[in-house]
Amino acid sequence: MDYTMTTFEEHQAKLNADNNLHDSNILNKYKIASDIANEVLKQVVAALKPDAVIAEICAYSDNLIVEYCNKFFKKSNIEKGIAFPTCINLNNCSQNYSPLPEDPYTLQTGDIVKVELGVHIDGYMASVAHTTILNPSPEKAIIGRVADVICAAYVALEIAHRLIKPGNKASDVTKAINRVAKIFDCRPVENTCSPLVRRYIQDQEHIIPNSVIPNENDDFEFRHNDVYSINILMSTGDGKVRENEPKPTIYQRNVNKTYNLKLKASRNVFNEITRRFGVFPFSLSALEDKRGRLGITECVNHELLLGYPVVFEQPNQYIAHFKSLILLAPTGPLRMTNLPPLPYVHSEYSIRNDPELSPYLQQSIRTIKASSLQALGEMEQ
């Protein structure tokens, strides 16, 4: 018997079964994760006020995710909770700012605030991101470059939702994103993409780049049964973000590395990470034993943990970020996550007169109906 081939075939069979959108149980888990992400994002955006402490809002958001997830599948021993810790990225900060409790940094009037978070139920992930502004005069539209970049990112997200369907290619989406960016005099943020999502993983081979149009070898068609996390980041600058202070506070296990840790603190914290977070990213602020942070360094030095650097555009530039989930279900594409209303902005640019892009926004898109989390929780008892 060819053991290697059998193992590969068994692995493929399980992968296919775990990601079969014909299975109503899988669809239900995506729906619950999406409903929780939608609700938490709505509550977090409502909590964004001048002088609010960013670390406290992130903790509030993460606690909400855990609280809602705990209402479901109480009789089942399945993993559920945070798929990506809440980040609040301001102005020219692009991603991954999830400060520790001792960080006193607060929101200020005029900040461009990007909220990102992720939820999973049994490994089925729904991630969302939204951009808003702490507008001191909410009745007045924000204009200028801030308005341009928010409009560019949002329009690109909406067009991507309509282009991701069986038969179209990744390059079709990237070309449209770049065309939108050019119209609004913005740039897609380099090295960002929309990945294919599977149970527990984001596929790094099937990604839709935001900035670089795939060549023939890297291009691919969308297929029935695919799930994509549409992840759009636009910049008023050159789109080249750079790692900067503060240091990473979000880490993830590197399942491809092994090492016998020497320090007791390192072993203890790595055991906690494995037990509580599995393969998902986590924030240092979520560790039960705060002394465990002392062991993080050895884990990182030997690549057992990978950090998510906090990255920035040039000063005086702005980044907008929107993220949503789409399922290429048997009945057709389904938009699973619904973002809060846009901030009141007005750009001098528009795709209204663009003969290629404008028709896309006239197309309807099926959005799954939001459910009451309380009602859903009662059904799961």
* pLDDT 10s digits, 82-140: 999 999 999 999 999 999 999 999 999 999 999 999 999 999 999 999 999 999 998 99
Same domain, 112 and 223: yes
Give the pLDDT score at 372.
61
What tokens appear for 295 in the block? 């062991």
Average pLDDT over residues 345-372: 90
pLDDT band at residue 1, thresholds of 50, 70 and 90? Answer: very low
Residue 375 lies in a domain: yes
Q: Is residue 78 in some structural domain?
A: yes
* Cα 164 versus chain centre, distance: 17
Mean of per-residue pLDDT scores for the chain: 92
- pLDDT of residue 179 exceeding 70, the answer is yes
**pTM of the entire predicted model:** 0.93
Residues 173 and 224 in one domain: yes
Average pLDDT on 216-233 reads 95
With a CB cutoff of 8 Å and minimum separation 6, the contacts of 304 are 253, 254, 257, 258, 259, 261, 270
Q: Are residues 230 and 256 in the same domain?
A: no
**Exposed (0-12), middle (13-18) or buried (19+): which is 106, by Cβ within 10 Å?**
middle
Residue 287 has what pLDDT?
A: 93
Where is the domain boundary, 262, 285, 305? 305
Do both 24 and 152 map to the same domain?
Answer: yes
Q: What residues contact 105, with CB distance under 8 A and at least 6 apart?
A: 53, 54, 55, 99
Q: Which domain holds residue 257?
A: 250-305
Q: Kindly state whether residue 231 falls inside one of the protein's structural domains.
A: yes
DSSP letter assigned to residue 4: H
Using the predicted structure, report yes or no on whether residue 381 has a pLDDT greater than 80.
no
pLDDT exceeding 70 applies to what percent of the chain? 96
Residue 7 within a domain = no
Supply the CATH number for residue 132's domain. Answer: 3.90.230.10
378: pLDDT strictly greater than 60: no
For residue 267, the domain's CATH number is: 1.10.10.10
Examine the domain organization and report whether 225 and 337 are in the same domain. Answer: yes
What is the rounded average pLDDT of the residues 133-157? 96
pLDDT (mean) for 29-57: 97
Q: Is the pLDDT of residue 236 over 90?
A: yes
- Answer yes or no: is pLDDT of 3 > 50: no
Q: Are residues 156 and 140 in the same domain?
A: yes
Greatest CA span in the chain, whole angstroms?
72
Q: Are residues 292 and 323 in the same domain?
A: no
Please state which of the ranges 4-18, 129-143, 229-243, 274-288 shows the lowest mean pLDDT: 4-18
**Selection from 58, 94, 55, 128 nearest residue 310 by Cα:** 94
Residue 44 and residue 58 in contact, taking contact as beta carbons nearer than 8 Å: no
pLDDT at 338 over 50: yes
Got the DSSP string for 342-364? PPSB--S--STT-TTTHHHHHS-
Ramachandran class of 127: left when φ > 0, alpha when ψ lies in -120 to 50, beta otherwise: beta
> What CA–CA distance (Å, rounded) separates 35 from 138?
28
Residue 343 lies in a domain: yes
**Residue 10 belongs to a domain:** no
**Domain shared by 144 and 220, yes or no:** yes
Q: Are residues 54 and 79 in the same domain?
A: yes
Pairing of strands 305-307, 187-188: unpaired
The mean pLDDT value for 318-336 works out to 95
Rounded average pLDDT over 145-158:
98
The residues with which 125 forms a beta bridge, in sequence order, are 120
Q: State the average pLDDT over residues 140-161.
A: 97
% of the chain at pLDDT higher than 90 = 83
Q: Which of 175, 172, 198 is nearest to 328 (CA)?
A: 198
Asked whether residue 133 falls in the same domain as residue 261, the answer is no
Rounded to whole angstroms, the Cα distance separating 141 from 266 reads: 51
Name the one residue in this structure whose structure tokens are 């590969």. 8
Residues 6+ apart with CB under 8 A from 270: 261, 295, 299, 304, 305
Does residue 375 register a pLDDT over 60?
no
Residue 216 has pLDDT above 80, yes or no: yes
Q: Does residue 54 belong to any structural domain of this protein? A: yes
Domain count for the chain = 2
- 132 and 31 in a single domain? The answer is yes
Given a contact cutoff of 8 angstroms between Cβ atoms, the answer to whether 159 and 357 are in contact is yes
61 Cβ contact list (under 8 Å, min separation 6): 40, 43, 44, 86, 115, 117
Residue 45: which H helix or E strand, with range?
helix 24-46
The reply to whether 88 and 61 lie within a common domain is yes
> Phi first, then psi: what are they for 320, rounded to 5°?
-115, 150
Q: CA-CA distance, 202 to 193, in Å (whole number)?
A: 11
Which of 117-121, 200-204, 339-343 holds the top average pLDDT?
Answer: 117-121
Instruction: Indicate the pLDDT class of residue 77, thresholds 50, 70 and 90.
Output: confident
